[in-house]
Chains A and B, each alone.
Chain A
Amino acid sequence: MSFIHDTLFIFRRQVRLILRNPAFLTIGLLQPILYLVLFGPLLTKLPAGTLTGGSGTGGTAEAYRFFVPGLLIQLALFGSTFVGFAIISDWRAGVIERYRVTPVSRVSILAGRVLRDVVMLIIQSIVLILAGVAFGLRAPLPAVLLGFVFIVLVAIGLASVSYAVALLMKSEDAFAPLINSVVVPLILLSGIMLPLTLGPGWLQGVARISPFRYIIDAMRDAYAGHYSGPIMVEGVAVAVGMAAVLLWLGSRVFVRENA
């Protein structure tokens, strides 16, 4: 099928390009690893149940089952929203236009890049999880795998929309502040560092607008061994819905006759 062929073709090209400068992958990992090493230990001394809302066992196990899913989402969120930068320089080099005049599917020009980003994110996440295990993370394997499904969905949606917005803006100077002003509030409202249940009522209310909040809650539930219930249903619905809508929006930009 031509879409799959073209997507894999763009994917291979993009993988080759990133492996030529693999520093970016390491830089992306640096931040969550620092949080894991320098912030994670602060959570291990909290009273039992603080992080889980009452039912936890406390200590290292509870701390990392809470913290690692948050860091994984943070990695996906930062990593995927910033991918758009690369397409601005590609656009400036005329590479995007060159491919738009070949028979390569225009959706594949997006999809191949997103696939590359997803694969790179999975590799980074495995490193992060292994580092978490070294610090004392203990989680069931099905939960870890389910966690990958969540971060892949997050990455598909955010990377698509990041590429699309970057291609529309065509300027790094405009793109960087925009991304920061969207991502930082979303991170803060998602309860990545500390549970939102510690906050006052108004903050918990505002946090309902962050889709990542539902996804993180579902991931943490899974890491604690719960795979069903309303939190999981909400998390899966939000993750799938967001990925579908953002991927659709991103594709629209790439197939436009004028971009």
Chain B
Amino acid sequence: MSIIEASGLTRTFTSRKRTVHAVRGVDLTVDDGEIVGFLGPNGAGKTTTLRMLTTLLRPTSGTAVVAGADLLRDPLGVRKRIGFVPQAIGQTQGGTSDECLVIEELLDQGEAYRIPRAEAERRAAALIAQLDLTGLGRRLVKTLSGGQRRRLEIALGLVHQPPLVFLDEPTTGLDPQSRSNMWQHIRALRADLNTTVFLTTHYLEEADALCDRVFIIDHGVIVATGTPDELKRQVSGDVVTLRVNGATEMARSLLAAEPVVRDVSAADGELRLTVGHGEEALPVLLRVLDGAGITMSAISLSRPTLDDVFLTLTGRSLRDDSPGGSGADDGAPGELADASAGAGTRE
């Protein structure tokens, strides 16, 4: 069962006589119970797509069914069934008010969804415990630490127990410890409540650690989809590096003949092999060398990172936030970001 089904979503911003195609045609399907990550450089159309799917921005064209409701015909139906946690960096913060008490924010959120008071109190207490906010209920939001505040914001997105929750950059700005702590909470969402999680992230290790599937968006279109492992294999395969005692040339020709090996190169007494599936290739390689009586002194398997995938697909590194690094066909990423900010959104 798919919980998000979007086809042909586009969004065009017009400001000061300039037209910017922030999203040029996004098709995506997310299944019930998945944790999916939406990756893209600044200005790629990531946040614009998220804002369309959460009814904050009307698509210029295209259709989508989100959590069983039609995005264009029944936005209220979508809002009732999704949770949304805005990003906490950039122009706007994550959606909590400095001058509110933690418990007030949770109960207000319950009231926004018409949850009866007693039930809202029960859920608030459960969320406070679940997201490590115990003892903070009567604290003003402005006195919370960054990690605590972010967890409160996640909790607000869950008060009405939505089947689908959108997290816009859930861990950006958090220290590494709070980040891995947040990952556990996000995993628990799925494990405990079968909540589908759609998140955007700048962190490749986050997508790698957390997501079943990743969408990579660039210049307003999705350029790749797959599990993190699939994407990595699709791009370059795994790399096996091994060192043999003597007989390097013989080992090279023997291994090159194996069908699992795509490419071999030798340098400084080391052999560098590109293979499709590293863990399946290793036993084969070992058997071949052992059969030929060649002994090894070292072997290692390394996987390409999502950053390699990114670099291959988009021509730039995801970490490289500086816009204008690559010449885009019609509008550098920096321009996209500026223009969409001017039109009342952000990317």
Contacts and interface: CB of A to CB of B under 8 A. Distances in A.
A244 to B, nearest CB: 26
Given A9-B112, A94-B94, A97-B92, 18 more contacts: A17-B97, A93-B96, A93-B97, A93-B98, A94-B87, A94-B96, A95-B97, A97-B56, A98-B96, A103-B79, A103-B112, A103-B114, A104-B112, A257-B57, A258-B56, A258-B58, A258-B345, A259-B344
Interface of B: 54-58, 76, 79-80, 82, 84, 86-88, 91-100, 104, 108-109, 111-114, 156, 343-345
Contacts of B95: 93-95, 97-98
B111 A9 contact: yes
Give the 4 A-B residue pairs with the shortest CB-CB distance, closest first: A257-B58, A98-B95, A94-B95, A101-B84
Given A13-B108, A90-B97, A102 B92 contact: no
For chain B, what secondary structure do more than half of its interface residues adopt (helix, strand, loop), or is it mixed? loop
A190 to B, nearest CB: 34
A138 interface: no
Interface in A74-119: 90-95, 97-104
Nearest to A17: B99
Contacts of A26: none
Contacts of A16: 104
Contacts, number: 76
A99 B112 contact: yes
A166 to B, nearest CB: 13
Contacts of B111: 9
B198 to A, nearest CB: 13
Given A93-B92, A104-B112, A98 B156 contact: yes
A98 B104 CA distance: 15
Contacts of B88: 94
Nearest to A16: B104
16 contacts: A9-B108, A17-B99, A90-B97, A92-B92, A93-B95, A93-B97, A93-B98, A95-B96, A97-B86, A98-B84, A98-B96, A101-B54, A101-B56, A102-B109, A103-B114, A168-B344
